[in-house]
Amino acid sequence: MVYVRVSLVLLSVLLLALLTGRWLLVLLLAALAALVWDWVNLWRLEHWLRLARKLDPPKSVGLWGEVLDGLHRMRKRSRDRDKRRRNVVRNYRDSVKAMPDATVVLTGDYEVEWCNQAARDLLGLRWPQDEGQRISNIVRHPEFVTFLAQHTREARMISLPSPVDGRLWLEVRLVPFAKKRHLLLARDTTALRRLETMRSDFVANVSHELRTPLTVIYGVSETLGQELGEDPEYARSVQLLQEQAERMKILVDDLLLLARLETGGAPRDRQWIDVPQLLTVLVEEGRLLSGYRQHQITMEAEPGLMVLGNEKELRSAFANLLANAINYTPDGGQINLNWSSEASGAHFRIRDTGIGIGAQHIDRLTERFYRVDPGRSKSRGGTGLGLAIVKHVLMRHGAQLTIESEPGKGSLFICSFPPRILRHAGANPKRASA
Ligand code: ADP
The single-letter code of the amino acid at 79 is R
Closest ligand 1 atom to 325 CA: 23
How many whole angstroms separate alpha carbon 46 and alpha carbon 49? 5
- For the cut 60, the answer to whether the pLDDT of residue 153 exceeds it is yes
Residue 431: predicted pLDDT:
46
Instruction: Read off the pLDDT of each residue in 39-51 and give the average, rounded to a whole number.
Output: 86
Per-residue model confidence as pLDDT tens digits over 57-84: 788 777 888 888 888 899 889 989 999 9
pLDDT at residue number 45: 86
What single letter denotes the amino acid at residue 10? L
Atom of ligand 1 nearest to the CA of 378: 3
CB 350 near ligand 1, within 6 Å? no
% of residues, the chain, pLDDT over 70: 96
Residue 51, CB-side half-sphere exposure with 13 Å CA sphere: 6
Pocket lining: 383 vs ligand 1, CB cutoff 6 Å:
yes
For residues 68 and 60, the answer to whether their CB atoms sit within 8 Å is: yes
Mean pLDDT of 226-244: 86
- How far is residue 77's CA from residue 69's CA, in Å, rounded to a whole number? 12
By alpha-carbon position, which residue is closest to atom 23 of ligand 1? Answer: 325
Average pLDDT over residues 74-95: 91
Q: Ligand 1 in contact with 316 (CB < 6 A)?
A: no
Per-residue confidence (pLDDT) for residue 433, from 0 to 100: 46
Question: pLDDT: is 378 or 81 the higher one?
Answer: 81
Q: Indicate whether residue 333 lines ligand 1 (CB < 6 A).
A: no
What's the gap in Å between 299 CA and the centre of ligand 1?
21
Mean pLDDT score, 144-150: 87
- The per-residue pLDDT for 426 is 65
Mean pLDDT, range 370-390, rounded to an integer: 88
The predicted pLDDT at position 222 comes to 87
Mean pLDDT of 188-192: 94
Say whether pLDDT at 155 is over 80: no
DSSP per-residue string spanning 96-108: HHH-SSEEEEE-T
Mutate to test the pocket of ligand 1, among 371, 373, 389 (most ligand atoms within 8 A of CB): 371
Is omega for the bond preceding 128 within 30 degrees of 0, making it cis? yes
Q: Is the CB of 366 under 6 A from ligand 1?
A: no
Q: Is 354 in the pocket of ligand 1 (CB under 6 A)?
A: yes
Residue 383: predicted pLDDT: 87
Ligand 1 lined by 116 (C-beta under 6 Å): no
More confident site: 180 or 130: 130
CB 287 within 8 A of CB 297: yes
Q: CA-to-CA distance for 308 and 128, rounded, in angstroms?
A: 46
The protein residue with its alpha carbon nearest to ligand 1, atom 18, reads: 324
Q: Are 103 and 96 in contact (CB under 8 A)?
A: yes
Cβ–ligand 1 contact at 386 (below 6 Å): yes
Within 124-272, residue ranges assigned H as helices are 135-138, 142-149, 190-228, 235-263
C-alpha dist (Å) from residue 221 to 34, 133, 243, 247, 361: 119, 68, 9, 13, 37
Q: Of 21-25, 373-377, 413-417, which range is least confident?
A: 373-377
pLDDT value, residue 417: 96
Residue nearest (by alpha carbon) to ligand 1 atom 2: 382
pLDDT of residue 151: 67
Taking only the tens place, the pLDDT of each residue in 297-306 is 999 999 999 9
Q: Is the CB of 162 under 6 A from ligand 1?
A: no
Instruction: Give the pLDDT mean for 204-220.
Output: 89
Residue 52 confidence (pLDDT): 65
How many Cβ atoms sit within 10 Å of the Cβ of residue 365? 22
352 or 18: whose pLDDT is higher? 352
Q: Is the CB of 390 under 6 A from ligand 1?
A: no
Point out the least confidently predicted range of 56-65, 164-173, 285-294, 336-345: 56-65
What ligand 1 atom has the least distance to the C-alpha of 370? 10
In the predicted model, is pLDDT for residue 429 greater than 80?
no
What pLDDT does 428 receive? 46
Distance, CA of 217 to CA of 134 (rounded, Å):
62
Q: Out of 255, 316, 324, 394, give the residue to mutate to test ligand 1, the one with the largest number of ligand atoms within 8 Å of its CB.
A: 324
232, β-bridge pairs: none
- The stretch 264-278 carries a mean pLDDT of 87
Residue 118 has pLDDT above 80, yes or no: yes
pLDDT value, residue 1: 67
Kindly tell me if the per-residue pLDDT of 345 is higher than 90: yes
**Is residue 365 in contact with ligand 1, taking CB distance under 6 Å?**
yes
CA of 324 to the centre of ligand 1 (A): 6
CB neighbourhood size of 255 (10 A): 23
Look over the chain and give the mean of its residue pLDDT values, rounded to a whole number.
89
Residue of the CA atom closest to atom 7 of ligand 1:
386
| Per-residue confidence band for 335, with pLDDT thresholds at 50, 70 and 90 | very high
pLDDT score for 2: 67
Q: How far is the CA of 352 from the centre of ligand 1 (A)?
A: 12
Separation of CA 143 and ligand 1 centre (Å): 33
199 Cα: distance to centroid of ligand 1 (angstroms) = 24
